[in-house]
Amino acid sequence: MTRVLLVDDDIELGEMLTEYLEREGFGATAVSDGETGVAEALSGEYGIVVLDVMMPRMNGIEALRRIRARDSRIPVLMLTARGDDVDRIIGLELGADDYVPKPCTPRELVARIRAILRRARLEESSSSSSGSLTAGPLTIWPEKRGVEWDGLPLDLTSTEFNLLEVLVRNAGRVVSKKELSEQALGRPLARYDRSIDVHLSSIRHKLGGGEGRSPIQTVRGIGYQFLKE
């Protein structure tokens, strides 16, 4: 049974979501402050964290920052205010796996949790594919989920790795945002969803260049292409 950690200062919402998750076959624990949430997330007892952005004292952005600062790869799903693009972008840049705008239905939240966990299981199963993928100075080892750029290791979040792997497997071909969402995020592309753009911007930054110098090129109105050379 996968255990879900809910971090939200809305105690009634936490209780309601905990009950719903348990009916859906998950184990669930709700905590109401960021500091406790960070400690629990780093305990190794949970399979995923659902983290609200708007909390007093330590907000969700700072909690996520502290979780990732400890090199924890636990999947994190952010709950953000509807229409608040700034928090979503910051969360994704800090290593959140995905976000859900509030208010959301329990059914929608569970669907998104399952998509992230399904993607994580696919990542584990992909480790059976031996060998490496190479495109120009980039090398990816799916088995150990490692990446090197020009001979130096590249530190990517889980979602960034998934997106880069899909692009490299299709190097030289334009990959639509719909394909990237389904294959790398494990869910259909939502209307006005900018998460893929933010993740790829972060990857470009880690590769050491912007759009003009990056092997990841934007094909407007379609998607992205990883250049072979």
Q: How far is CA 153 from CA 14, 74, 105, 149, 213, in A?
A: 39, 21, 40, 6, 19
Domains of the chain: 3-124 (3.40.50.2300), 128-226 (1.10.10.10)
The two tokens of residue 56 are 């007093």
Largest distance between two CA atoms of the chain: 54
Between 143 and 165, the higher pLDDT residue: 165
Q: Tell me the percentage of the chain whose pLDDT exceeds 70.
A: 94
List all residues 6 or more positions away from 209 whose beta carbon is below 8 Å from its beta carbon.
none
Residue 140 above 60 pLDDT? yes
pLDDT tens-digit map of 37-82 = 999 999 999 999 999 999 988 999 999 999 999 989 899 999 998 7
Peptide bond into 56 cis (omega under 30): no
227's enclosing H/E stretch is none
Can you tell me the mean pLDDT for 94-112?
A: 91
Per DSSP, the residues of 125-175 read: HHTTS-S-EEETTEEEETTTTEEEETTEE----HHHHHHHHHHHHTTTSEE
Can you tell me the mean pLDDT for 94-103?
A: 90
Q: Binning pLDDT at 50, 70 and 90, where does residue 126 land? A: low
pLDDT tens-digit map of 156-173 = 888 899 999 999 999 999
Residue 127 above 60 pLDDT? no
Q: What is the CA radius of gyration of the chain?
A: 18
Q: How far is CA 61 from CA 58, 174, 204, in A?
A: 8, 33, 22
- For the chain, the 3-state helix, strand and coil shares in percent, each to the nearest 5, are 45, 20, 35
- pTM (predicted TM-score): 0.73
Residue 223 above 80 pLDDT? yes
pLDDT confidence of residue 130: 53
pLDDT tens-digit map of 164-221 = 999 999 999 999 999 999 988 888 888 888 899 999 999 999 998 666 678 999 999 8
